[in-house]
């Protein structure tokens, strides 16, 4: 009886809390996609990849307001992408990566739509082709609420809702207001929105300028960039820098040693102006159709 009363009080408390919207401008979720064990039995052969979910413009669907949902994968190389996709296709998992090809596998692209009922704490996820929807109901989620804790996660002070065990996992289930859950927040639509074996790796509330891990550590540059296919011709420099080649480049970012993006350049890669940067050490992050490269940059 005491336990029942406790749960009733907790659920009443949950309903009474101020609700920080999940689907708010500036939120970007970064997930770590570990490989399906069916694909690669040898642990050394696993291909892990990070991917981001971010929000776009508002759209009207069936007279309801949704936000665009975008995804961007960060495969380390074209060969890694092809190997992973072939594996998924072989085990009939093409619903997850089947929409990707060599032209879009590392680009940000529209994948669905989301809307949020803040009053009733419900989120509806709609696939891009309207083939299916998934509703997250954070009040009636068929789990037993055990506790509500004040915590700081991903550098955000928030409330942690602790639920009982998942049916398929020995771990408890945690929901963080304003962030989401520890698993793939947009999963379970079975139309390219839900890669298997995913987990929330880092979160940003400022459109991806800074990402924090669950223990509130700012992601270092080593966590988000790989490879190095380019070189800076004049380094150190005090004003303009040039690269050995600009062929195939999609974007260039200048990033400080904390991993924060100082500025981004989407065209005119022949010369990058760093005249206004304070003297110090930076990184040049170069994204092309095949890889993401990072170069150490010294500003005089």
Q: What's the number of domains the chain is made of?
A: 2
Kindly state whether residue 11 falls inside one of the protein's structural domains.
no
Question: In b/e form, how buried is each residue of 149-176, taking b as 16+ CB within 10 angstroms?
Answer: eeeebbbbebbbbbbeeeeeeeeebbbb
The reply to whether 90 and 201 lie within a common domain is: yes
Is 3 within a domain?
A: no
DSSP 25: T
131 and 72 in a common domain: yes
Q: What is the dihedral of CA 167, 168, 170, 176, to 10 degrees?
A: -80
* 180 shares a domain with 89: yes
Which two three-digit tokens encode residue 90? 């072989």
Predicted local distance difference test score (pLDDT) of residue 151: 93
User: Quick check: is 22 in a domain?
Assistant: no
**Calpha distance 287→190 (Å, rounded):** 29
| Residue 254: CATH number of its domain | 2.60.40.1220
Domain boundary among 188, 219, 250: 219
Q: Confirm whether 169 is domain-assigned.
A: yes
Q: Which residues of the chain have pLDDT under 70?
A: 1-19, 34-47, 89-96, 129-132, 139-142, 165-171, 183-197, 221-228, 289-290
Q: Which of 156, 188, 219 is the last residue of a domain?
A: 219
Q: List CB contacts of 207: < 8 A, sequence separation 6 or more.
A: 25, 26, 28, 54
The predicted pLDDT at position 126 comes to 83
Assess whether 163 and 209 both reside in one domain: yes
Residues in the chain: 300
Instruction: For residue 237, give its domain range.
Output: 230-299
156 and 291 within one domain: no
Looking at the structure, tell me whether residues 199 and 270 fall in a common domain: no
Burial of 211 (0-12, 13-18, 19+ CB in 10 A): buried
The answer to whether residues 148 and 270 belong to one domain is: no
* 247 part of a folded domain: yes
Same domain, 39 and 132: yes
Among candidates 156, 174, 172, 155, which has minimal Cα distance to 164?
172
pLDDT of residue 34: 64
Q: With 0-12 CB in 10 A as exposed, 13-18 as middle and 19+ as buried, what is 146?
A: middle
Q: Kindly report the pTM of this predicted structure.
A: 0.71
Q: What is the pLDDT of residue 218?
A: 84
Report if residue 225 sits inside a domain. no
């Amino acid at each position: 009886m005491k336990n029942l009363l406790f749960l009733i009080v907790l659920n009443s408390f949950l309903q009474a809390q101020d609700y920080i919207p999940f689907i708010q401008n500036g939120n970007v979720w970064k997930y770590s996609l570990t490989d399906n064990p069916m694909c690669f039995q040898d642990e050394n052969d696993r291909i892990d990849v990070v991917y981001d979910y971010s929000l776009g413009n508002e759209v009207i669907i069936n007279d309801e307001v949704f936000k665009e949902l975008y995804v961007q994968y960060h495969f380390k190389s074209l060969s890694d992408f092809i190997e992973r996709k072939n594996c998924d296709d072989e085990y009939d998992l093409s619903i997850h990566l089947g929409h990707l090809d060599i032209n879009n596998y590392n680009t940000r692209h529209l994948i669905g739509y989301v809307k949020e009922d803040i009053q009733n704490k419900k989120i509806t996820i709609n696939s891009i082709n309207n083939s299916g929807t998934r509703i997250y109901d954070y009040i009636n989620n068929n789990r037993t609420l055990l506790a509500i804790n004040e915590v700081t996660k991903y550098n955000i002070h928030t409330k942690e809702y602790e639920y009982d065990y998942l049916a398929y996992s020995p771990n408890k289930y945690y929901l963080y207001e304003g962030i989401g859950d520890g698993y793939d927040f947009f999963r379970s639509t079975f139309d390219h929105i839900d890669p298997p074996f995913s987990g929330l790796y880092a979160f940003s509330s400022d459109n991806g300028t800074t990402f924090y891990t669950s223990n509130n550590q700012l992601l270092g540059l080593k966590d988000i960039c790989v490879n190095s296919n380019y070189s800076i011709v004049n380094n150190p420099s005090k004003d303009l820098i040039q690269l050995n080649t600009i062929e195939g480049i999609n974007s260039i970012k200048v990033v400080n040693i904390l991993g924060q993006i100082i500025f981004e350049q989407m065209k005119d890669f022949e010369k990058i102006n760093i005249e206004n940067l304070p003297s110090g050490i930076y990184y040049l992050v170069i994204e092309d159709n095949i890889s993401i490269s990072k170069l150490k940059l010294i500003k005089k």
